Amino acid sequence: MESSTQGRVNVFIVEDHVLTRESLRTRIEAHPKLRVGVAVGSAADGLAALAVARPDVLLADLGLPDGSGIDVIRGAARRYPGLPIMVITVFGNEQRVVGAIQAGASGYLLKDDPAHEIGTAIELLLAGGSPISPAIARHLIRHFQAPPAAPETTGWEPLSARELEVLNLASKGFSYAEIAQLLGLSPNTIASYTKHIYVKLAVGSRSEAVYEALRLGLLPTR
């Protein structure tokens, strides 16, 4: 890998959730070949930073308070053709996945995906690879395969109001400990709600649960 700044790869982060943004910064800065040059929380700030300097890598969330991260990706790709861009988000619905890739993203990771360590994923991106969460890879395969003869109508057990509340907070990037504190419940209770959510949606991880909930229209899109 090569870097244009201080011998380290210069990474720009566009992520609105403060805790997630700082977690990404910490994990990236811990890598001996990476540094964070810019870490901002809005589409406007991201585009402004890109107008001033070219990063070596751009990491972008899609759900931003003032617009879509796809607009940031598109703007970055137009200004700096060939710039390695990776999405890090909770959103995995078809429209967002395809839209981000068409705009210029080469990688697409769901938050809390244990399959990818961020430093390794950035190295893979810089080497010409495309780090993609398994759930997104499956979704892309389905997108390019022939559509089914009829819409899927398999039933699922409805989530309770509390389960939806827990899942909605999880989709915003809060940890289970933070959710417990916000709702005034114990971490064990949140773990129990989470287990029930996974069973009802037939999933095995937070990212898959959020994806299924968005697909089923159970969570608001941003």
Q: Which residues contact 12 (CB under 8 A, 6 or more apart)?
A: 36, 37, 38, 39, 46, 49, 50, 55, 57, 58, 59
pLDDT (0 to 100) of residue 114: 63
Is 27 in the same domain as 101?
Answer: yes
The domain boundary residue, chosen from 112, 144, 176: 144
Residue 197 included in any domain = yes
The mean per-residue pLDDT over the stretch 105-132 comes to 86
**pTM (2 d.p.):** 0.66
pLDDT (0 to 100) of residue 133: 86
Structure-block tokens of residue 145? 């395969």
The domain boundary residue, chosen from 144, 170, 192: 144
pLDDT (0 to 100) of residue 177: 87
pLDDT digits (tens, 9 = 90+) for 79-110: 999 999 999 988 766 677 888 888 999 999 98
- DSSP 3-state assignment of 96? helix
Given a cut of 50, whether residue 69 has pLDDT beyond it is yes
Range of the domain at 200: 161-215
pLDDT digits (tens, 9 = 90+) for 14-52: 999 999 999 999 999 999 999 999 999 999 999 999 999
149 vs 189, residue with greater confidence: 189
